[in-house]
Amino acid sequence: MNVNTIREKFNEKFGAQGELFTSPGRINLIGEHTDYNGGFVFPGAIDKGMVAEIKLNDTDKVRAYSVDLDDYAEFGLNEEDVPSASWARYIFGVCREIQKRGGKIEGFDTAFAGDVPLGAGMSSSAALESTFANALNELFSLGIDRFELARIGQSTEHNYCGVKCGIMDQFASIFGKAGHLMRLDCRSMEFEYFPFDPEKHGYKVVLLDSVVKHELVGSPYNDRRASCERVAAVLGQEFLRGATMEQLDAVKGEISEEDYKRARYVIGEEVRVLDVCEALKRDDYETVGKRMYETHWGMSRDYEVSCEELDFLATVAEECGVTGSRIMGGGFGGCTINLVKAELYDSFIATAKSRFAEKYGHEPKVYSVVISDGARRL
C-alpha cells in the first residue's frame, strides 16, 4: 500500500502531518463454524491492511477522509452525531465504544486507505476498526488492554454497523504476529501462538476468490447454529465443544439425520484444528493440507455451506497436487484458501484460472498472502 499517497492526501485536506497507524486483515487456516460452538479458531494476520494518518485537531469534531472512496465526513462525538456514510460509522463507532468504557476522546483529523480486498472474507472492516482503536488508545494514552481493543471493534460492528460478528476478526487484527497463527479458544478466550512460516518450508498461501455470492433462502447460518444447539442439549452440554463421535453415535436415534450431520462436522473440525496445531509444531505441512481438504468436504457434505464453484476450485486444487485447499469463511461463495508447494504455484494458478473461466465465464481473483504483524504504529 502506498503510504505516500495517504501522506499527500492528509496534507492536502488538513495542511499538516500526523501519526501513521496500521492494522491487518486476516485469514483463518482452519476452524470454521466452531466459534459459536465454543470451539477453536486458528487465524493469522496478513500483509494486507488499513493505514491511517491521524492528528488531534483541538476541536470536538472528527474530520475523516477515505482515500479509496474519495469521500469526506465530519461528525461530532455524541450518540446523536452518527454519520450517514457507512464507512464513517466504523470510525464513529470505535470512538463511541471507547467513550462508553470511560475513555476520553477529542476531535481529530484522519485520512486512511487499505489494500484488503473487499468482499473476499479477509475482514477489511476489522482492519479499519483495529487501526482506529489502537491509534486512539495510543494518542489519548487511554491504557486500554489489547483484548478490550478487539472487543471495541466487535461492539462497533454490533452497535453501529448492524453485524452480529464473533471476536475472531478483531482478535486476529490486534494480536497478529509475523510467522505465527493464533489458536483462540472461543469458550475461555485463551490463545496460543503457533509457528507458521510456509515460505521457509517451500510453500505459499494463496486465496482464490470465486467472486460468487449465492443469495440465501431463509437463514442458513441460524439454522445450522440451531442444529448444533439441539444436539448439544440432547448430550446435556452447553456447546458441542468437547463432544466425541462415540457420544454423538449413542444419541443418533434421538436426533434428525440433518442435525447428526451438522454435529459430525463440528466434532470433526475440533479434532482437525488440534491436529493442525500439533503438525505445525513439527513443520508437517502435509498433514496440515490433508486436514484442510477434510474440512472442505465436511463443510460441503455434512454442514452443507459450500457451493458448486467452491467445490470445483477444491477439486481442481486436488487434481493439481495442491497440498491443502478449503472454503474460507461462512460459505455459499467467497474464497478457497490454498496451501501450495512453491514449484506448483504458477501452474496451479494458471490451471485454476483457465478451468474456472471455461466453466463459469469469469476468472477467480488471486490473492497471495503472507502472515504478518497485528495493529501497530508505523
In a domain, 286, yes or no: yes
Query: What value does the mean pLDDT take over residues 96-123?
Result: 92
Question: What is the tally of structural domains in the chain?
Answer: 2
Q: Are residues 148 and 207 in the same domain?
A: no
In a domain, 378, yes or no: no
User: What is the model's pLDDT at position 239?
Assistant: 93
- When pLDDT is cut at 50, 70 and 90, the band that residue 216 belongs to is low
Query: What value does the mean pLDDT take over residues 234-258?
Result: 96
Q: Are residues 192 and 203 in the same domain?
A: no
Q: Are residues 87 and 226 in the same domain?
A: no
Q: Are residues 185 and 67 in the same domain?
A: yes
Q: Are residues 139 and 54 in the same domain?
A: yes
Whether residue 262 has pLDDT greater than 90: yes
Spell out the SS3 assignment of the chain.
Answer: CCHHHHHHHHHHHHCCCCEEEEEEEEEECCCCCCHHHCCEECEEEEEEEEEEEEEECCCCCEEEEECCCCEEEEECCCHHHCCCCHHHHHHHHHHHHHHHCCCCCCCEEEEEEECCCCCCCCCHHHHHHHHHHHHHHHHCCCCCCHHHHHHHHHHHHHHHCCCCCCCHHHHHHHHCECCEEEEEECCCCCEEEEECCHHHHCEEEEEEEEEEECCCCCCHHHHHHHHHHHHHHHCCCCCCCCCCHHHHHHCHHHCCHHHHHHHHHHHHHHHHHHHHHHHHHCCCHHHHHHHHHHHHHHHHHCCCCCCHHHHHHHHHHHHCCCCEEEEECCCCEEEEEEEEEHHHHHHHHHHHHHHHHHHHCCCCEEEEECECCCCEEC
Q: Are residues 45 and 108 in the same domain?
A: yes
Among 165, 181, 196, identify where a domain stops. Answer: 196
* CA distances, 257 to each of 3, 54, 263 (Å): 54, 55, 10
CB 273 within 8 A of CB 34: yes
Q: Could you list the active site residues?
A: 169
Phi, psi angle pair for 202, to nearest 5°:
85, 25
Q: Which range of residues forms the domain containing residue 135?
A: 3-196
d(CA 58, CA 126) in angstroms, rounded, equals 27
CB 186 within 8 A of CB 289: no
Q: Are residues 263 and 187 in the same domain?
A: no
Q: Are residues 174 and 37 in the same domain?
A: yes
Question: 20-42 burial, b for 16+ CB within 10 Å, e for fewer?
Answer: bbbbbbbbbbbbbbbbbbbbbbb
This prediction has a pTM of 0.89
Q: Are residues 187 and 280 in the same domain?
A: no
Summarised one tens digit per residue, pLDDT across range 31-73 is 999 988 999 999 999 999 999 999 999 999 999 999 999 999 9
* CA distances, 105 to each of 45, 94, 98, 257, 374 (Å): 28, 11, 8, 53, 23
Among 196, 215, 230, identify where a domain stops. Answer: 196
Among 168, 196, 224, identify where a domain stops. Answer: 196
In a domain, 375, yes or no: no
Query: What value does the mean pLDDT take over residues 274-287?
Result: 96
In a domain, 377, yes or no: no
User: What is the model's pLDDT at position 313?
Assistant: 97
Whether residue 218 has pLDDT greater than 90: no
Whether residue 214 has pLDDT greater than 80: no
In a domain, 60, yes or no: yes
Q: Are residues 365 and 259 in the same domain?
A: yes
Query: What value does the mean pLDDT take over residues 334-358?
Result: 97
Whether residue 94 has pLDDT greater than 90: yes
In a domain, 376, yes or no: no
CATH of the domain at 34: 3.30.230.10
Q: Are residues 23 and 136 in the same domain?
A: yes
CATH of the domain at 326: 3.30.70.890
Query: What value does the mean pLDDT take over residues 283-310?
Result: 96
Q: Are residues 67 and 38 in the same domain?
A: yes
For residue 66, which of 49, 53, 80 has the smallest C-alpha distance?
A: 53
